[in-house]
Amino acid sequence: MKRILTKVALWLALPVVLFAVWWFATANSQNFYVPPLSEILRTFPEVWTWDRIRADVLPSLIRLAVGYTIAVLAGVSLGVLVGSSRPVRAVLEPVLEFFRAIPPPVLVPVIMLFAGIGDTMKVVVIAAGCVWPILLNTVEGVRAVDSVLADTCRSYGITGPSRIGHLVLRSASPQIAAGMRQALSIGIILMVISEMFAASNGLGFTIVQFQRSFAIPDMWSGILLLGLLGLALSVLFRLVESWSLRWYHGQRRAQRGPS
């Protein structure tokens, strides 16, 4: 119990310090664009009512979930294919490196030409940005599969889907999870950016509307909500990762020995 409390205290220490600095640094602020944190916190429950959350925040989270899921499925599938076959990797690697170097926000106007300005465009933008860390980490994880385990599977005649499921994906899962964690933060950024283009709802759209109408405390409350959502999704991801990779973390602890 003491160990858990220590971890929680360390995890909360920096956010508490930063909020304290923000509070005292803006306590007597007369700057129209930098209102006191106390004013932002007072505005927060007035702005982000359940009706506004349902109208703006939930659509954003749904787009993020759909785009992120597409990126995971595409990234893992293509990553297994590229990582498992040297000829395929030789053919696709230059093309993948070319597209990986293009920042996803630059593609927004192009995607709008083909997908329109609705939810499809926003989902495609999120998926296009999230797929790369998942794909590249999957490729490296597949390439790093233990050769002894691979030979053992071959000796026992474990091939096809069974080999992919029991050996390849299981061995590469820690690196795949690392890519998914990186992709989640990218997805949140692209969610907001995509909603700043020809949108009628969403968290990014609402924050821009507050800025254009000079509702500065409301705008800051939206930014604060966006940070809290990112934190909540990160914590949720870590919990799921710890549960799904408990065998891996247990193995790591056993290798380190008692501390």
Domains within the chain, CATH numbers bracketed: 56-256 (1.10.3720.10)
Q: What is the DSSP letter of 144?
A: T
Whether the CB-CB separation of 81 and 88 falls below 8 Å is answered with yes
Tokens of residue 150, six digits: 């691979």
| pLDDT on residue 257 | 61
In degrees and rounded to multiples of 5, residue 198 shows phi and psi of 50, 50
| pLDDT on residue 61 | 95
How far is residue 66 from each of residues 35, 139, 191, 237, measured CA to CA in Å?
36, 23, 11, 16
| pLDDT on residue 149 | 81
| pLDDT on residue 6 | 78
Whether the CB-CB separation of 26 and 197 falls below 8 Å is answered with no
Report the alpha-carbon distance of residue 10 to residue 220 in Å, rounded.
Answer: 27
Report the alpha-carbon distance of residue 35 to residue 175 in Å, rounded.
Answer: 42
Report the alpha-carbon distance of residue 24 to residue 79 in Å, rounded.
Answer: 48
Report the alpha-carbon distance of residue 145 to residue 139 in Å, rounded.
Answer: 10
| pLDDT on residue 89 | 84
Tokens of residue 109, six digits: 């106007």
Report the alpha-carbon distance of residue 42 to residue 241 in Å, rounded.
Answer: 35
174-177: Cβ within 8 A, 24+ apart: 174/141, 174/245, 174/248, 175/137, 175/138, 175/140, 175/141, 175/144, 176/76, 176/79, 176/134, 176/137, 176/138, 176/141, 177/241, 177/244, 177/245
55-61: Cβ within 8 A, 24+ apart: 55/201, 56/201, 56/202, 56/203, 56/205, 56/206, 57/203, 57/225, 57/229, 59/119, 59/201, 59/202, 60/191, 60/192, 60/195, 60/202, 60/203, 60/204, 61/229
| pLDDT on residue 64 | 95
- In angstroms and rounded to an integer, the radius of gyration of the C-alpha atoms of the chain is 22
DSSP string, 163-183: HIIIIIHHHHHHHHHHHHHHH
pLDDT tens, the chain, 259 aa long: 667 777 777 777 888 898 899 889 888 888 888 999 999 999 999 999 999 999 999 999 999 999 999 999 999 999 999 888 888 888 888 888 888 888 878 888 888 888 878 888 899 999 999 999 999 999 999 988 888 888 888 887 877 788 888 788 888 899 999 999 999 999 999 999 988 877 788 999 999 999 999 999 999 999 999 999 999 999 899 989 888 888 777 777 766 665 5
